[in-house]
């Protein structure tokens, strides 16, 4: 199953190759997958089929049985913009979606998401990052709508915030308790909403590349940025997420081609990898 | 033309249709429109469009506006030199195509691009003035009270001042303003290059009947090219040293026609014969089994009957910008590179730039990137620079190879003609590359 899904992911990545910033790869990934799953699922199918085809999305949108937790105005709002979601050539495919970027840093992911039409909330525990992110985002009217908060996922849960999609890239390897962190992320996600986490695998290859090469040889990162023991394997991440009511649908790896200097999505999860899951509907 | 083709390309793609484009060009034709009558005498300024460029034009929906007007496809080409030692004859069917290229007057190209952009559902504004100054790094201003927040929201844009006093802010400034590009100057891009000690004389001539082949003969001072334009007209591009150019421009029309016929026919040297020392037979062994036009004999170009337009003279040079892009700025077309006209490639390189840039912009918008970002623009540069430099090197090589009259070198050139004529894989490769189908010579 994994390779079949990953083939589709690779079809997307084959079209889009990017520089080292992670946000574009994620956005490419997200735009192909998020759209089909963050549908106001009016159907009662418990777990959306793993086929992930766009037809499934259409089925969801048109299905007539309405569950009690959904309101008609919400449905109407989503179906009105549903056409833009299906359209791969729309410049603002995330119009109307609320996305939170947990661990946003300087806004490197939040800004492209906002340019693609999403209502973005960026949170980071470090106040300096938030300040820098705000200054940079204010330079462009499109990105100045991003809401930046210096806070943690747990505090957002306490405020009972909910989002259509929760994205947390390269954060979970730095938190003290990954299981609790995933619980918080899950609590921020609406039922059937999307959760995307990326991190580094706890493998020998990751030690050699992400720590030795990246920190000590190439100096891409400051020494001591990562602790190998805090890395998670894909299996562990899936388990933790399952315990937080998240069903992982797809997984992919990031690989760097030193000849072209470009990153791309691939089947190889041995170093950097990204997981996409949906929150179980209650 | 190249800048307008970029605008049309952006208008034709769904991802980029929503962009606001300001076109700054002091040419009054842009505002008043370009009126062309089919009976107009042919303009001397023409361009040879490769098949690759033609299909790009079709993709953006501009070709339909061109078709009602005079334009000529040609499917044959003959190249030879004054030594009479060799020649090459190309035919489009060597690469299973219908044509090798199309010759179109520049005003027809401009008009069709203008009509295309006017009819597109696209937000554009034409500013009929010139760029006076540009500021690319306004710098971050420190955050101040709300009243000044509008200044800050423009801090990441390029600021342009026009000659009529207008002030524009833009995320991306594209310099498509020709070989003496003002944008390139203001952005501080350095260029490398040299002037050829040659000028080109350009004019249109008429024949007794239709010409359907492109002819080019390398003479001691420079090549003369005869390109079919349709309706019995052909365009002449004759490269020579500046003094001769002035002479040719000022002599009477009848004398000029005589010198043209002389240059194309018996002047300066004999005709090449179809088989020289049995060389043709040796080389045809290489191409055995594959149909080529190598066995088509040498033909004499059609006689010029009279001059049909004024004669214009242009100095020739090679110039290449060391960088095509920096934050908020990109150069396309002649602003980035100027080449010798001996292979009709200059404007095709420019159109290639325009379409590459518009594709790169589309890919950026698909993932929410800021279109003025340097890393994105570098992608465009990495795509176009090698291709442009390769072409420029080849053209410059030809120009230098043909400017020396030295026995052994002449024979080497003749061997080159024979090789290109009779070795069919090489011939196909040359035609493909010149038609724009292949991006880099030899290694694709």
Of the listed ranges B109-118, B314-323, B408-417, the least confidently predicted one is B408-417
Q: Does any CB of chain B come closer than 8 Å to the CB of residue A37?
A: no
Measured between beta carbons, the chain A residues lying within 8 angstroms of B18 are: 91
Q: State both tokens at B366.
A: 């698909």
Q: Does any CB of chain B come closer than 8 Å to the CB of residue A142?
A: no
Q: State both tokens at A212.
A: 């030795």
Residue of A nearest to B372 (CA): A140
Are B204 and B226 a contacting pair, CB within 8 Å?
A: no
**pLDDT number for residue A185:** 95
What does B326-365 look like in DSSP terms, one character per residue?
ETTEEE-GGGTEE--GGGS-HHHHHHHHHHHHHHHHHHHH
Q: Does any CB of chain A come closer than 8 Å to the CB of residue B31?
A: no
Q: How confident is the model at residue A73 (pLDDT cuts 50, 70, 90)?
A: low
Reference B9, options B61, B58, B62, B60; nearest CA is: B60
Q: How far is A79 from B99, CA to CA, in rounded Å?
A: 50
| Cβ contact A116–B143 (<8 Å) | no
Q: Does any CB of chain A come closer than 8 Å to the CB of residue B278?
A: no
**Helices and strands counted in chain B (H then E):** 13, 20
pLDDT at B28 over 70: yes
Measured between beta carbons, the chain B residues lying within 8 angstroms of A132 are: none
Given CA atoms A197, A203, A207, A209 in this order, what sign does their dihedral have?
Answer: negative
Q: How confident is the model at residue A82 (pLDDT cuts 50, 70, 90)?
A: low
Give the H or E element holding residue A197: strand A189-200
Are B224 and B260 a contacting pair, CB within 8 Å?
A: yes
Q: Does any CB of chain B come closer than 8 Å to the CB of residue A261?
A: no
Q: Does any CB of chain B come closer than 8 Å to the CB of residue A110?
A: no
Instruction: Considering only the beta carbons, identify the residue of B143, B156, B367 that sits closest to A140.
Output: B156
Q: Does any CB of chain B come closer than 8 Å to the CB of residue A130?
A: no
pLDDT at B280 over 80: no
Of the listed ranges B148-152, B322-326, B425-429, the least confidently predicted one is B148-152
How close, in Å, is residue B341 to chain A by CA atoms?
34
Of the listed ranges A4-8, A97-101, B201-205, the least confidently predicted one is A4-8
Task: Map residue B68 onto helix, strand or coil.
Answer: coil
Are A93 and A87 a contacting pair, CB within 8 Å?
A: yes
Give the H or E element holding residue B72: strand B71-74
| Cβ contact A116–B15 (<8 Å) | no
Q: Which of residues 287-326 of B touch A (CB under 8 A)?
A: none
| Cβ contact B15–A135 (<8 Å) | no
Measured between beta carbons, the chain B residues lying within 8 angstroms of A88 are: 366
Are A196 and A279 a contacting pair, CB within 8 Å?
A: no
| Cβ contact B153–A140 (<8 Å) | yes
Q: Does any CB of chain A come closer than 8 Å to the CB of residue B139?
A: no
Residues in CB range of A174: below 8 A, 6 or more apart: A103, A230
Q: How far is A270 from A157, CA to CA, in rounded Å?
A: 32
- Find which of B19, B145, B359, B368 to mutate to test the A interface (most A CBs within 10 Å of its CB): B368
Instruction: Considering only the beta carbons, identify the residue of B140, B155, B368 that sits closest to A112.
Output: B368
ipTM of the complex: 0.75
pLDDT at B222 over 90: no
**pLDDT number for residue B154:** 59
What is the tens place of the pLDDT at every residue in B159-181?
A: 899 998 889 888 999 999 988 89
Are B10 and B16 a contacting pair, CB within 8 Å?
A: yes
How close, in Å, is residue A144 to chain B by CA atoms?
8
Measured between beta carbons, the chain A residues lying within 8 angstroms of B172 are: none
Measured between beta carbons, the chain A residues lying within 8 angstroms of B16 are: 91
| Cβ contact A91–B18 (<8 Å) | yes
pLDDT at B37 over 50: yes
Give me the helices (H) in chain A, please: 2-15, 22-37, 54-62, 72-86, 110-115, 127-137, 153-158, 178-188, 204-206, 234-243
Q: How confident is the model at residue B153 (pLDDT cuts 50, 70, 90)?
A: low
Q: Sort strands B46-49 and B20-24 into parallel, antiparallel or unpaired.
A: unpaired
Residue of B nearest to A16 (CA): B363
Reference A151, options A104, A214, A198; nearest CA is: A104
Residue B136, sorted as left (phi over 0), alpha (psi -120 to 50) or beta, turns out to be alpha
Q: How far is B14 from B297, CA to CA, in rounded Å?
A: 50
Percentage of the residues of chain A whose pLDDT score is greater than 70: 69
Which strands make up the sheet holding A119-124, listed edge to edge? A147-150, A119-124, A98-102, A163-169, A189-200, A272-279, A246-257, A262-266
Measured between beta carbons, the chain A residues lying within 8 angstroms of B15 are: 89-91
Residue of A nearest to B375 (CA): A19
B32 exposure class (CB count in 10 Å sphere: 0-12, 13-18, 19+): exposed
Residue of B nearest to A134 (CA): B143
Q: How far is A189 from A163, CA to CA, in rounded Å?
A: 5
How close, in Å, is residue A200 to chain B by CA atoms?
23
Task: Map residue A243 onto helix, strand or coil.
Answer: helix
Q: How far is A124 from A170, CA to CA, in rounded Å?
A: 12
- Find which of B366, B377, B382 to mutate to test the A interface (most A CBs within 10 Å of its CB): B366
pLDDT at B190 over 80: yes
B227 exposure class (CB count in 10 Å sphere: 0-12, 13-18, 19+): buried
What is the tens place of the pLDDT at every residue in B281-308?
A: 444 445 444 444 444 678 888 889 989 8
Q: Rounded to 5 degrees, what are φ and ψ at B303?
A: -75, 145
- Give me chain B's average pLDDT, please: 84
Residues B354-376 as b/e (b if ≥16 CB within 10 A, e otherwise) read bbbbbbbbbbbbbbbbbbbbeeb
**pLDDT number for residue A258:** 85
**pLDDT number for residue A34:** 37
Q: Does any CB of chain B come closer than 8 Å to the CB of residue A28?
A: yes
- Find which of B367, B369, B376, B379 to mutate to test the A interface (most A CBs within 10 Å of its CB): B367
**pLDDT number for residue A197:** 95
Q: Which residues, listed in sequence order, are joined to residue A278 by a DSSP beta bridge? A: A194, A247
Q: How far is A161 from B427, CA to CA, in rounded Å?
A: 68
- Count CA within 13 A, CB hemisphere, residue B130: 6
Q: Does any CB of chain A come closer than 8 Å to the CB of residue B390?
A: no
Measured between beta carbons, the chain B residues lying within 8 angstroms of A141 are: 153
**pLDDT number for residue A231:** 93
Of the listed ranges B62-66, B267-271, B383-387, the least confidently predicted one is B267-271
**Better-scored residue on pLDDT, B62 or B440:** B62
Q: How far is B438 from B430, CA to CA, in rounded Å?
A: 9
Are B419 and B426 a contacting pair, CB within 8 Å?
A: yes
Q: The whole model's pTM is what?
A: 0.80
């Amino acid at each position: 199953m994994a390779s079949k899904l990953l083939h589709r992911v690779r079809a997307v990545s084959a079209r889009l190759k990017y520089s080292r910033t992670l946000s574009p790869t994620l956005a490419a990934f997200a735009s192909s997958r998020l759209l089909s799953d963050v549908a106001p699922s009016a159907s009662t199918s418990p777990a959306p089929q793993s086929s992930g085809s766009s037809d499934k999305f259409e089925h969801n949108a048109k299905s007539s049985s309405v569950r009690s937790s959904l309101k008609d105005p919400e449905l109407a709002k989503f179906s009105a913009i549903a056409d833009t979601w299906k359209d791969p050539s729309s410049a603002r495919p995330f119009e109307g979606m609320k996305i939170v970027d947990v661990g946003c840093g300087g806004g490197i992911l939040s800004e492209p998401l906002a340019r693609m039409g999403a209502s973005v909330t960026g949170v980071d525990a470090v106040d300096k990052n938030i300040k820098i992110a705000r200054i940079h985002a204010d330079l462009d009217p499109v990105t100045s709508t991003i809401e930046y908060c210096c806070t943690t996922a747990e505090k957002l849960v306490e405020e009972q915030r909910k989002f259509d999609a929760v994205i947390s890239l390269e954060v979970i390897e730095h938190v003290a308790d990954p299981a609790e962190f995933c619980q918080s992320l899950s609590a921020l996600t609406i039922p059937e909403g999307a959760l995307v986490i990326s991190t580094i695998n706890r493998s020998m290859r990751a030690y050699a590349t992400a720590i030795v090469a990246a920190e000590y040889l190439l100096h891409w990162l400051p020494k001591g940025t990562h602790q190998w023991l805090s890395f998670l394997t894909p299996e562990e991440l899936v388990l933790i997420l399952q315990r937080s009511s998240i069903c992982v649908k797809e997984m992919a790896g990031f690989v760097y081609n030193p000849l072209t200097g470009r990153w791309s999505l691939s089947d190889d999860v041995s170093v950097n990898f990204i997981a996409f899951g949906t929150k179980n509907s209650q | 033309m190249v800048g307008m083709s970029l605008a049309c390309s952006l208008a034709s793609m769904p991802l980029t249709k929503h962009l606001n484009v300001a076109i700054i060009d002091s040419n009054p034709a842009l505002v008043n429109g370009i009126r062309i009558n089919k009976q107009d005498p042919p303009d001397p300024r023409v361009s040879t469009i490769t098949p690759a460029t033609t299909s790009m034009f079709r993709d953006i929906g501009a070709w339909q506006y061109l078709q009602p007007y005079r334009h000529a496809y040609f499917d044959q080409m003959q190249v030879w030199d004054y030594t009479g030692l060799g020649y090459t004859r190309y035919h489009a069917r060597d690469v299973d195509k219908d044509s090798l290229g199309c010759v179109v007057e520049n005003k027809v190209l401009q008009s069709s691009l203008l009509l295309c952009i006017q009819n597109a559902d696209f937000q554009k504004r034409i500013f009929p003035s010139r760029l006076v100054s540009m500021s690319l790094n306004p710098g971050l201003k420190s955050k101040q009270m709300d009243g000044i927040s509008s200044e800050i929201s423009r801090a990441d844009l390029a600021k342009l001042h026009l000659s009529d006093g207008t002030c524009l802010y833009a995320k991306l400034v594209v310099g498509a303003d020709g070989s003496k590009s003002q944008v390139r100057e203001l952005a501080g891009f350095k260029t490398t290059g040299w002037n050829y000690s040659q000028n080109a004389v350009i004019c249109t001539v008429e024949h007794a009947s239709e010409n359907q082949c492109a002819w080019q003969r390398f003479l001691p001072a420079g090549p003369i090219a005869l390109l079919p334009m349709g309706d019995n007209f052909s365009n002449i591009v004759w490269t020579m040293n500046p003094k001769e150019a002035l002479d040719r421009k000022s002599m009477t029309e009848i004398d000029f026609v005589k010198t043209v016929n002389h240059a194309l026919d018996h002047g300066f040297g004999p005709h090449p014969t179809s088989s020289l020392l049995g060389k043709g037979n040796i080389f045809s062994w290489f191409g055995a089994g594959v149909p080529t036009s190598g066995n088509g004999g040498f033909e004499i170009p059609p006689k010029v009957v009279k001059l049909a337009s004024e004669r214009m003279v242009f100095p020739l040079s090679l110039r290449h910008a060391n960088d095509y892009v920096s934050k908020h700025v990109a150069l396309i077309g002649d602003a980035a590179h100027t080449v010798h006209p001996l292979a009709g490639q200059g404007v095709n390189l420019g159109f290639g730039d325009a379409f590459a840039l518009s594709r790169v912009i589309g890919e950026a918008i698909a993932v929410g990137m800021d279109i003025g970002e340097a890393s994105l623009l570098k992608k465009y540069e990495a795509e176009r620079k090698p291709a442009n430099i390769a072409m420029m090197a080849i053209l410059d090589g030809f120009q230098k190879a043909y400017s020396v009259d030295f026995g052994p070198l002449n024979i080497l050139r003749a061997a080159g003609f024979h090789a290109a004529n009779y070795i069919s894989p090489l011939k196909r490769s040359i035609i493909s590359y010149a038609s724009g189908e292949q991006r880099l010579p030899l290694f694709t």
